[in-house]
Structure formats: structure tokens, C-alpha cells
Amino acid sequence: MPVPRKKPAAVFKILLIGDSAVGKTSLMFRYHEDKFIEKFTPTIGMDFVFKNITIQGQEISLQLWDTAGQERFLNITKNYYRNADAVVLVYDRTVSSSFKNISRWMKTIADEAPEDILKVLVANKSDLHRLLVVSTQEGQDLAKQYGITFFETSAKLDINNVAEIFDYIAHELFERKKPRPVSGSGPIILDDQSQKSFFSCC
């Protein structure tokens, strides 16, 4: 008989947002399962996974929410901003429009998310050296403009260690929010395997 798991000390909800095909799903699976899947179908609506980590002897559950980047799903995904603890803004270094659209995503965060939400900027696909059109300096400058932390990585090759992004977020939230115990009405209690659920829309 499986041994019941203790409820985590806290659950933190982390959104991954950005244009379609910038690599949000790949980043999530690189962190969650430490693997890269070459081809993904576009996320429809929302997709999420759980990952448990330990900080200062306390078990923390991270909810990683992968949002659809297409405009037609924006009204659906907006609902998930309201109780989020952190947001990962992702752009593709080989697509200049995905970088320029970070300002649009920042406006959505300002309109829909809690005022104190933790934000980080992630430049993905840094392994595609010959195709890069957004420089490291441009990414650093944009992050500085918004006063947020900047990471440059590749979900495919795990450049600069994708785990560092989410570990940074988890530790920041732990220090900021002083985790509260999860009540009986809280999110799903995890079993021995991380649980994954998929939400789709019409």
C-alpha cells in the first residue's frame, strides 16, 4: 500500500507566457523531466505539471502552467493570471517579433496579474547561433528596463541550466511569501509521481 504523502508547505503557481512556438513547453518539460522533445503540437488553452522541491527542509510544490501563445486563447489564459505567484516571459532569440511582443505580454501582466507577482525574462533557443537576431545585450537591457531578472538559455541543449530559472523563482517566492500551510481545500495532493493535466478549449 502506498504511503500517503505529506502536504507541501506551500504551493507556488508559475505561468510561462510568450508568443507561440518560443519554447515555453520545451522549457517546462526540460525542468520537469530533464528531457527535450523535438516536436510539440501548439498548446491549446493551458497545460500544467507539478514538481516538488525542498527548500530549507520544507517541501514546496511548484505548479508550472504552460499558456497558449495564440491571440485567440488570450481571454482564456487571462483567468489564470489572477492567483499566480510568478510569471516567466519567454521569447525566441531567432524571432525578433517574439522579443518585441514582450511589451504586450508585460501589459497583460500589469492588467491581469497580482501587483507583486514575480517576473523573469527568458531568452530561449540560444543554441541556434547562426539564426540569432536578438543579442544578449538587448535582452539584458529589456530586463533592466522592466526591473526584472534575465536568463539566457536553450531548452534543447539545457544551456546555462534551465533548472536555475525555476530554482531561482522558487527560492525568491519562498523568501518573499513565507509559505503558508496548504489547507484541506487547496490544490491536488500529489502521489509518488508528478501529476499532469491538460486543458483544452473549443
Mean pLDDT of all residues in 147-156: 96
Grid coordinates of 79: 483567468
What average pLDDT does the structure give for the chain? 82
Q: Measured over all CA atoms, what is the biggest interatomic distance in the chain, rounded to whole angstroms? A: 55
Local confidence band at 48 (pLDDT 50, 70, 90 cut-offs): confident
Average confidence (pLDDT) over 23-44: 78
Listed in sequence order, the residues at least 6 apart from 167 whose beta carbon sits closer than 8 Å to its beta carbon are 53
* Percent of the chain clearing pLDDT 70 (strictly above): 75
pLDDT for res 37: 76
Q: Which of residues 176 and 119 earns the better pLDDT score?
A: 119
pLDDT band at residue 58 under the 50/70/90 scheme: very high
Half-sphere exposure of 49 (CA within 13 A, CB side): 16
CA 10 to chain centre: 17
- Domains defined along the chain, listed by start: 10-183 (3.40.50.300)
Chain centroid to CA 129: how far?
Answer: 24
HEC per residue, the chain: CCCCCCCCCEEEEEEEECCCCCCHHHHHHHHHHCCCCCCCCCCCCEEEEEEEEEECCEEEEEEEEEECCCHHHHHHHHCCCCCCCEEEEEEECCCHHHHHCHHHHHHHHHHHCCCCCEEEEEEECCCCHHHCCCCHHHHHHHHHHHCCEEEECECCCCECCHHHHHHHHHHHHHHHHCCCCCCCCCCCCCCCCCCEEEECCC
Pairing type for strands 118-124 and 58-67 reads unpaired
Higher pLDDT, 127 or 7: 127
Are 121 and 102 a contacting pair, CB within 8 Å? yes
Confidence of residue 180 (pLDDT cuts 50, 70, 90): low
Q: pLDDT band for 186, please (50, 70, 90 cuts).
A: very low
